[in-house]
Structure 1
Amino acid sequence: MQTYQLQAHPAFPPLQVSSVEVKWGIVGSWLQLRWRVDGAGQVVLPHFAGRSRGDRLWNTTCCEVFVQPMHSARYVEYNFSPSEAWAAYNFTGWREGMADRSMSHDPVITPRKGRNLFILDVAVPLADLPEMPAGLSLTAVVEEETGRKSYWALTHGSPDKPDFHDPACFAATLAAPEVP
């Protein structure tokens, strides 16, 4: 598993959240991801919705991953809510051509919240990812009880406004799985 520390966007700092970390790796035929939010005592978690496709999940606490095949303008956005709802969208270019992405299986989403810690485990079938190798953007929207939202990414392209679709955010690489 690889581990990345996400950075809060400077224009939208958190109140109590102290860090967001993402671990990810390929296990068998699944991409497994784990978001860990420290300082999460006041984090707002949406109500349980069950494993189902949703929309506009980023309006509250939501973890996201963007996958862009190398040398391509197109990319896929996946949203994972602590409610266990999810979304997947294809884009033909930067914020262009948005369409629902078909999935062979619903992602498996497992949220856990302790006193000051929030963890979201997600498993996505590799068959539902675009071809690899690919650029990878790991992100999170974290809402706290005051309504304050912080926007976390590997890196941010603009200091003025968070934009997880910005090409600068694709700062990790997802390699094709090794065949034994």
Structure 2
Amino acid sequence: MASYDLNAFDRRFEAISLVGAIEQQSPYTVNVGYWLRDPNQYMQWPDIVNAHPRQDFLWEQTCFEIFIGVHGEDFYREINLSPSQAWQAYQFEEYRYPEDMPPQAADDIELNQLKRTHYGMNISIDLTEFMLRHKLKWSDIYLGLSAVLKTSQGDHFYAMQHSSPNADFHNKRDWLHQF
């Protein structure tokens, strides 16, 4: 298992710390955990929904995200995961394209588990169809972890690193996990 300290885009905001962990679980499954430390209880958590529905615009509330890139390719996937237990996966041909809003849903990624825990989130994603459709091995893939945190102190954007002048989770340079 690999873990990463996720950094707030606003470096002055130190009230909440966030760690993400990634583990290849099976031939096509990846588990991701987010551990959040919020001693002042600034977080604003959405209400829980039933049955893990696929919903758009989850990033408008507290939302944890996984980006999946493929070495040597422009296309990628974005997975949004809400502490409400709603989720969605999107497909892009290249950087933020197509520009549809909401983006085009990806039908080649499935959710095995999405659970809010006392420390954050625990997620299991099935990449079987995505990997088989594109003839991918784990070594072909790299991941980025990020989060939009709605707090009583405003919105804060966390990622493995921020190399753009604005918070930009779609910047592949910031997707640091290699298998």
- The two structures have a TM-score, normalised by structure 1, of 0.84
User: Which sections of structure 1, spanning at least 5 residues, go unmatched?
Assistant: 176-180
On the 8 A contact 1:7/1:152 being kept in 2, the answer is yes
Q: Tell whether 2:41 aligns with 1:35.
A: no
Give the distance between the partners of 2:105 and 2:149, measured in 1 at CA. 24
On the 8 A contact 2:65/2:79 being kept in 1, the answer is yes
User: 1:105: Cα distance to partner?
Assistant: 3.8
User: 1:3: Cα distance to partner?
Assistant: 0.7
User: Which sections of structure 2, spanning at least 5 residues, go unmatched?
Assistant: none
On the 8 A contact 1:15/1:144 being kept in 2, the answer is no
The one-letter code matched in structure 2 to 1:25 is: E
User: 1:16: Cα distance to partner?
Assistant: 2.5
The one-letter code matched in structure 1 to 2:141 is: A
Give the distance between the partners of 2:32 and 2:159, measured in 1 at CA. 14
User: 1:158: Cα distance to partner?
Assistant: 1.7
Q: Tell whether 2:51 aligns with 1:53.
A: no
* Structure 1 range deviating more: 73-82 or 90-99: 90-99
| Corresponding residue number in structure 1 for 2:9 | 9
On the 8 A contact 2:3/2:22 being kept in 1, the answer is yes
On the 8 A contact 1:105/1:125 being kept in 2, the answer is yes
| Corresponding residue number in structure 2 for 1:134 | 141
One of 144, 147, 151 as aligned partner of 1:144: 151
| Aligned-residue RMSD, C-alpha | 1.9
User: What percent of counterpart residues are identical?
Assistant: 23
| Corresponding residue number in structure 2 for 1:73 | 74
| Corresponding residue number in structure 2 for 1:178 | none
Question: Aligned pairs, how many?
Answer: 166
Give the distance between the partners of 1:91 and 1:105, measured in 2 at CA. 17
| Corresponding residue number in structure 1 for 2:170 | 165
Give the distance between the partners of 2:58 and 2:168, measured in 1 at CA. 15
| Corresponding residue number in structure 2 for 1:111 | 116
- The two structures have a TM-score, normalised by structure 2, of 0.84
Tell me: CA distance 1:16–1:81, structure 2 relative to 1, closer, same or farther (3 Å).
same
| Corresponding residue number in structure 1 for 2:122 | 121
Give the distance between the partners of 2:109 and 2:70, measured in 1 at CA. 19
User: 1:30: Cα distance to partner?
Assistant: 2.1
| Corresponding residue number in structure 2 for 1:22 | 20
